[in-house]
Chain A
Amino acid sequence: MLEIQGLSKTYGNNVAVDNVSFSVPDGQVGILLGPNGAGKSTIIKSIAGLLRYKGAIRIQGLPARSMDAKKVFAYVPEIPNMFDALTVREHIEYIRMAYSSDITDEEVDEILREFEMEDKQEKLGNELSKGMMQKVSICCALAVKPRVILLDEPMVGLDPAAIKKLKEIVLDLRNKGVTVLISTHMLEMVEELWDIMFVMEKGHIVGSYTKKDAEGRDLDELFFAMTGGEKE
């Protein structure tokens, strides 16, 4: 479970996120939506422990900054940043050591195969295209064997086959009881994935829906109804 309570973050005099609270229960896929500058990235970075903030963030009931919480948490940032001098395989090996993950070599091979990266294992970080970096970033997150996973615009830069595979993996994670939070602009990409959605605007959550409450309405219909925009 992922819980955010009274989260606030300011940059100088600019309030990026103002007293935001929401939670994603175990085994559900949450979607964080909002226009540019709404504060989504600030929330994502706060959950990932990359920002100072006010309020509380809990992962599986533990403070997000605690080592135990970090061990079960995986993060796929919007812009992947590889270590230039580490190969794809070494990135995963590092993750295995850092998280004390019990993932086996066969499982690593399987993840790499799923994302068509098995022949790129010896490529260095600075030799990868943006799409490949995104795939490695996802592979590393999966190598953690997380209980909570955070994906920030995960589809950007991926080819159609990888997008399809990622969707399958998200559904598979959900079925295994993993909590998933996805921040995205690409509403149609997450249409069949979500269980609960949150819409942000100007640093606040302006509304949320569960799949049941939505009564079959599209994500973009719900989104534009809450933000006051028009559906194209």
Chain B
Amino acid sequence: MKALIYLTKRSFINNLKRAVRKPSTLIAMIFGIVYGIFVVFGLGTLVVSVHIDSANGLLAILAVWSIYSVLGNFMMYSSRKGIIFRPGHAHFVFTAPLNPKLVLISSAWMNYVLSLVIWLVVGIAAFTVFGIQPLRALLIVFMGCVLELALEVAVMVFLYTNDNIPEKLMKGIRMAIKVFLIAFALGIVLYFRTNGLTLESAWNLLDLPALQIIPVIGWQIAVYRLILLGPTVLNIVCSILYLAVVAVSVIAAVRMKCDGGYYEDAAKFADDYADIKNRQKNGEMVFSLSGKKRSFRRVREKISGRGAQAIFHRQLLEYKKERFFFFDKFTLVAIVIAFVFSYGLSDAAVESGAGQLFLLGVVAYVSLVMSGYLGKWENELKNPYLFLVPDTPLRKMWYATLTEHIKAFINACIICIPIGIFWHVPVIEIIFCILIYVVIQADRLYTTVLAQCLLGDVFGKTGQNVLRMFIQMALLGVGAGAAVMIGVFINIDFIFPIVLIYSMMVTVAMGILASLRFDTMEQLV
């Protein structure tokens, strides 16, 4: 255990030292803390403004928390993904003469710290916002930090170390929990539709005895009821049952034999997690930790094209091997955006008589939303072969990013055509909007390359993104401002061609500058 404490303590101290030395990390940490405090105060204000700053209000929040945290924890731990292991664990910890159960419990220290912080905030809020007596607030903190955490750790140990439960059964239970959670959420929606979305109906829902009878989750809610609202026969019985469950779970977890069977899953998780962290560090948006290998379609095709053209044809072949070709999660986002705006704002847009300007606004908004997206071109710059291809840097850049322009065109069509039709936007202006979207996306690509060139790794991906946004907003903002002025004072029809031509000029200039990055692998900084 001493070795594990040493490992955690030294890692924490060294990480802290490194963070203080690196300005970007320090700024991010300070920003995170300030933002966290802001969110807590914001939630406190929200609670007061919607009139749930009472014992019943806190009980409602804790009831929802109980349902989702207990079941959520079960799902995470049963798939052996709830604790963050690093590849270093597989090398130095799993092979060492350390009790696997202790390794498991000590590795979850971040979960404990997070729980402690959350419950301290809940305790303070209980006293200050919800008007709960200090002793009761302390009991709430005790309940969260000790009993709930003890149950969580026991469940974690049980699920990680138990190799006797068949994986198929676990999958079935996880699926059932998902169905239950969705059904529960739908049930709540249905209840409020039937009974009206009022505080009274919410309190009535909370008072349903059936809620407290649900094993474990309901019993946990009963303990909170006992602390916050005082004793009833039902909540006393259910609280005793909860205490018994916690005690039995802890005893079972202590007695459970474990020879480190879970190391196999934990080592795989560590590799998957490291891969995801690496991808995130490179600016990629990663949605889930599936751990599954990507499957590709079989395509037998020769790569044609000479010089830099071969880069484009290779990318095209790669996309053909993807399950959905050019279409990915962002295509879905584009469809959702098109659907929401087509239906949601069509009346307002048509009535205003300036649907085309609304559409231009949507294009600008979506360009901002999708700014975190990276495509295959990003990886091209990490590949030495790109720089060895006997062609000009400008052509290399063009062909390395051509598939992205095609994808941007597809997304632009998905967004602009339905919205344009529903909003009665003239065809020529829909075409302008599509082209403007493609050009803005191209500008984003080239400005990203330029930001990489100027900053290198000094300020990380975040610094590069901030600089990229600054350059892009400054340059395109000037054009947009000028176009609006001309539109207002001369003719509104000039806005679209001016925005398009100006954006194209800026994009071509940025492209020529960015092409320098395709000359040598070495960066300017």
Contacts and interface: CB of A to CB of B under 8 A. Distances in A.
B304 to A, nearest CB: 32
A153 interface: no
A91 B94 CA distance: 14
A67 B2 CA distance: 15
A80 interface: yes
A127 to B, nearest CB: 10
Contact of B95 (A70, A80, A83): A70
Interface stretch (A92-100, A155-163, A190-198): A92-100
B11 A83 contact: yes
A49 B263 contact: yes
A84 interface: yes
Nearest to B258: A65
Interface in A58-105: 65, 67-68, 70-71, 73, 75, 77, 80-87, 90-91, 93-95, 97-100
A140 interface: yes
Interface in B8-26: 10-12, 14-15, 18
B306 to A, nearest CB: 35
B95 A94 contact: no
B94 A50 contact: yes
B301 to A, nearest CB: 27
Nearest to A144: B96
Contacts of A70: 95-97
B97 A49 contact: no
B163 interface: yes
B11 to A, nearest CB: 4
B97 to A, nearest CB: 4
B7 A83 contact: yes
Contact of A85 (B6, B18, B93): B18
Contacts of B6: 93-94, 97
A202 B271 CA distance: 25
Contacts of B92: 81, 83, 91, 94-95, 98, 140
B267 interface: yes
Contacts of B456: none
A48 interface: yes
A81 B88 contact: yes
A52 B3 contact: no
B522 interface: no
Nearest to B7: A94
A166 interface: no
Given A71-B97, A97-B2, A124-B18, A81 B7 contact: no
B90 interface: yes
B10 A90 contact: yes
Nearest to B270: A81
A137 interface: yes
Interface in A170-226: none
A52 B163 contact: yes
Given A98-B96, A125-B88, A86 B11 contact: yes
A90 B9 CA distance: 11
B259 interface: yes
Interface residues of B, number: 31
A81 B86 contact: yes
A82 B88 contact: yes
A130 to B, nearest CB: 13
B509 to A, nearest CB: 38
Given A49-B263, A50-B95, A98 B3 contact: yes
A51 interface: yes
B11 A99 contact: no
Given A90-B10, A98-B98, A83 B263 contact: no
A85 B260 contact: no
Contacts of A84: 11, 86, 88
A227 to B, nearest CB: 28
B261 interface: yes
B34 to A, nearest CB: 24
B109 to A, nearest CB: 14
Nearest to A9: B264
Contacts of A80: 91
Nearest to B98: A98
B87 interface: yes
A49 B260 contact: yes
B313 to A, nearest CB: 30
Contacts of B91: 75, 77, 80-82, 137
Contacts of A124: 14, 18
A132 B87 CA distance: 17
A125 B235 CA distance: 53
A94 B8 CA distance: 10
Contacts of B259: 65
A132 B330 CA distance: 41
Given A52-B163, A91-B92, A67 B86 contact: no
B99 interface: yes
B146 to A, nearest CB: 29
Contacts of B86: 81, 83-84
A137 B92 CA distance: 9
Contact of B90 (A50, A85, A98, A125): A50
Nearest to A91: B92
A97 B98 CA distance: 10
Interface string A7-30: 000000000000000000000000
Interface in B237-274: 259-261, 263-264, 267
Interface of B: 2-4, 6-7, 10-12, 14-15, 18, 86-88, 90-99, 163, 259-261, 263-264, 267
Given A50-B94, A68-B97, 6 more contacts: A49-B260, A50-B95, A83-B92, A93-B6, A94-B6, A125-B88
Interface of A: 48-52, 65, 67-68, 70-71, 73, 75, 77, 80-87, 90-91, 93-95, 97-100, 124-125, 137, 140
25 contacts: A49-B95, A50-B95, A52-B163, A68-B97, A70-B95, A70-B97, A73-B95, A80-B91, A81-B86, A81-B87, A81-B88, A81-B92, A83-B11, A83-B88, A83-B92, A84-B86, A85-B14, A86-B14, A87-B14, A90-B10, A94-B7, A95-B92, A97-B2, A97-B3, A98-B98
Ranked 7 nearest A-B pairs via Cβ? A81-B87, A98-B3, A70-B97, A97-B3, A83-B88, A85-B14, A98-B96
